[in-house]
Amino acid sequence: MPERSVILIGFGNPGRLDDGLGPALAARIERLDLPGVRVESAYQLAVEDAATVAACDVVVFADAATDATASYYFRQLEPAADLAFSTHALTPAVVLGLAHDLFGARTTGYVLGIRGHAFNAFGEGLSPQAETDLAAAERFIAERLRRGDFAAATTDDGAAAASVPAYEVELCRTERK
């Protein structure tokens, strides 16, 4: 049983096909009922998530990714302060930054990017490829959550995880035509 409190936040829109990978992973992890692991789902991240994250030692943000070269990647996150023009939603790095700046937290953050394949339509359900990638990501993160061991994690494609800075973490760049 992990000694630290851990939260996994799966976010995305299940009404936009593979954009729902984050909530789908959250639902699977919740069913595992892992001790010491809290699970939440969201369409998108917002300021109040900073308060939630601040109460935990470790946060894992799970989201659909279009830049993954394997089924998933897992990277450590640095707190950030970059904001878009008028977006109502925040990146995982900014949520982590607010948790640190506003609430004095020292939460460690990670992103789990799960490869998505179909985004540009309204519709429920994941693509068959995304289902496969989701299963691989679930196996990976479930094991990490059980062991409470994140820092040494590497992704399936062999890329180093912990040293990747936040600004290189760009998930789910859906193109809309």
Partner 1 sequence: MVASNTRRVVIEPVTRVEGHGKVTIQLDEAGKVAQARLHIVEFRGFERFIQGRPYWEVPVLVQRLCGICPVSHHLAAAKAMDRIVGGEKLTPTAEKVRRLMHYGQFFQSHALHFFHLCSPDLLFGFDADPAIRNVIGVAAKHRELAVQGVMMRKFGQEIIRITAGKKIHGTGAVPGGVNKNVSIAERDELLREVDQMLAWSRGALKIAKDYTVEHLEELRDFGSFTSNHLSLVRDDGALDIYHGGLRAITADGEKIFDHVDYQEYLNYIMEEVRPWSYMKFPFIRSLGPAAGSYRVGPLARINTCDFIDTPEAEAARREFMAVTAGKPNNISMAYHWTRMIELLHAMEKIRDLLHDADLQGTDLLAKGRRRYEAVGLIEAPRGTLFHHYRVNDDDQVVMANLIVSTTNNNEPMNRAVRRVADDYLSGQKITEGLLNRVEVAIRAYDPCLSCATHAMGQMPLKIDLLDSAGNLLDTRSKGTA
Residues that bind partner 1 (CB under 8 A): 11-16, 19, 41-48, 50-51, 63, 81-91, 94, 97-98, 101-103, 119, 121-123, 170-174, 176
Closer to partner 1 at the Cβ: 152 or 173? 173
Considering only CA atoms, give the Rg of the chain. 15
Closer to partner 1 at the Cβ: 31 or 173? 173
Read off the DSSP letter of residue 168: G
Find the shortest distance in angstroms from Cβ 152 to partner 1. Answer: 26
Contact 19, 174 (CB under 8 A): yes
Instruction: Give residue 36's region: left, alpha or beta (phi > 0; psi -120 to 50).
Output: left
Find the shortest distance in angstroms from Cβ 165 to partner 1. Answer: 15
The tokens of 55 are what?
A: 């109460």
Contact 3, 148 (CB under 8 A): yes
Find the shortest distance in angstroms from Cβ 176 to partner 1. Answer: 6
Phi then psi for residue 49, to 5 deg, are -65, -25
Closer to partner 1 at the Cβ: 2 or 41? 41
Closer to partner 1 at the Cβ: 75 or 148? 75
Find the shortest distance in angstroms from Cβ 19 to partner 1. Answer: 5
